[in-house]
Amino acid sequence: MPVPSTNKLPARVLAVSNQKGGVGKTTTAINLGTALAAIGKRVLIVDMDPQGNASTGLGVPRETRRVTIYDVVVDQRSIEDAAVQTTVPGLWIVPADADMSGVEIELSQADRRSYRLRDALRQHDDGPTAYDYVLIDCPPSLNLLTLNAMAAAAQEHLGALDILVNNAGVTHQSGPLEDVDEESFDRVMAVNNKAVYLAARAFVPAMKAAGKGCILNIASTAGVSPRPNLSWYNASKGWMITATRAMAVELAPYGVRVNAVNPVAGETPLLASFMGEDTPEMRAKFLSTIPIGRFSQPEDIANAALYLCSDEASMVTGVAMEVDGGRCI
Residues forming a β-bridge with 135: 14, 45
Q: What does the DSSP 8-state code read for residue 197? A: H
Helix, strand, or coil here: 329? coil
Cα distances from 118 to residues 65, 136, 195, in angstroms, run 22, 11, 19
Give the active site residues. Answer: 233
Would you say 136 and 117 are in contact if contact means Cβ atoms under 8 Å apart? yes
User: Whose CA is closest to 92, among 159, 32, 44?
Assistant: 44
Distance CA 253, CA 314 (A): 13
- Full DSSP string of 56-72: HHTT--GGG-SS-HHHH
CB proximity list for 216: less than 8 A, separation 6 or greater = 163, 164, 165, 166, 258, 259, 260, 261, 305, 308, 309
Nearest residue to 228 via CA among 285, 279, 310, 188 = 285
DSSP H helices in the chain? 25-38, 53-57, 69-74, 79-82, 103-106, 116-125, 144-158, 182-189, 195-210, 231-251, 271-275, 280-287, 298-308
* β-pair partners for 62: none
